[in-house]
Structure 1
Amino acid sequence: MKKETRVQKKQRRRMFMLRLFFISLIVTAMAIFAIRSSFFKVDQIVASEGNSVSKEEILKAAGISKDDNILIIRKKAIIERLESIPYVKSASVKKKLPDTVEIEIIERKPYLQFENGYSFAVIDAEGVLLENSILKLKGIGLVKGIGWEYIPDGGSIIDKTQGTSILDLLNDQNIAPVVEKIEVIDLSDSSNIKFNLFNGIAVEFGPMNNVKYKLKVLGEILADVEKKNIPTKMILMNKGEHPILVRDDI
């Protein structure tokens, strides 16, 4: 194989740079054309509507206009705006060329509500404050006897309630089904917490210690009551080691 001369190497490098320049020029021209072309203008925005977050609220937070070019839309920025909505746990954005944007959200679900002045502070199972509602939400347990300083919507009650056993009710899928059966949790007497269940049964829970274990026991009792159709008025968990079932037909 004949060895290249210095002049030939120089010519080859010059040709390579020339080709690279023209390729870059073509790519730049195509990019400018694509950005300015109406072919890639957003024509359709598809958004999933949740139970608590409307389609209109999603579209407003996303901030996408039908005049926007789909190629330069920043998905990360849109997701950050969507996830700033307290009820939105996570969001995803997909571009479908040439002109469609799809938005999907996963909502946070109300788990408990707290008396908070003249409103009701609604939280999810992770302790995130979803809203301060003027009206009490139906079907969601109400906690009485605990409060905190101001928390913005989307903030967490965890930092404000550190050191309290109320945190034992959060972030636990094993006890969540039991908590969701409770209509009222009265914390006004720390030595004897009282529950009123949605099915009308009253529970004297005792102090808020071993909360997770006691709630699991309560869940087993309620399952047995329901299975055997036992007419029950009250469950006493503060009278010794074993719970006492007070029947409604005695």
Structure 2
Amino acid sequence: MLKNLINLFFPQICEACKTPLQDNENSICISCRHELPVTNFHFENNDVVKKLLYGRLELENATALLHFSKKGLVQELLHNLKYRGHEQIGKFLGDWLGGELKTIETYQTIDVVVPVPTHKKSKRERGYNQVTKFGQQIAKALDVDYYDDALIKTSHTKRQVFKDRVTRFEDVNKRFEIGNTVGLYNKHILLVDDVITTSATIEACGLLLQTIPGVKISVATMAIVE
């Protein structure tokens, strides 16, 4: 009764379409969930993400949960997550993808989940790294450790979505450093991020992680721009 009373005055709404959620819905209404453009890359052994990084970063596995398109439901979700303080979206997407990855044999060899870091200024302004909940829930589903200090972002960057891959990589590559590597030697690391665009960020972070002896890298993101 208390929950119903709270929802009457402060209704929870769908993060994608803004309609009130029903009691059995969480973050996203059932209708929007069915409309979200899932990739199924990990179920179909699709190498789209690996091909983006072919010849630049050696990967064991790579996937993205959703297709990203301008003005679509996925953009609305990720903008709510990254710019509007709706951190619960990361948890929702992490639970979703983590639940799927734990059923796939090639992802069961992962030892640790590492997020792409955000700069301390962005984290202070936003209050969190938008990838944290996503990565934590995947780690929980796979029953592995979550390391949020393996990589460090050393400088604040402006949005780079309109830069080409080479220019973006040259810029991004200067802005990350390796952090705490204790416990990462000879591990299979799942590197997680929100969106793959040119793949420059994943490439820069993955190459740093590959300087750790014996490391293998896989990648999982919330969405991919194709």
Q: Which bin holds the TM-score, normalised by the shorter protein? A: under 0.3
Greater fraction strand: 1
Q: What TM-score, normalized by structure 1, do the two folds share?
A: 0.24
Greater fraction helix: 2
Q: What TM-score, normalized by structure 2, do the two folds share?
A: 0.26
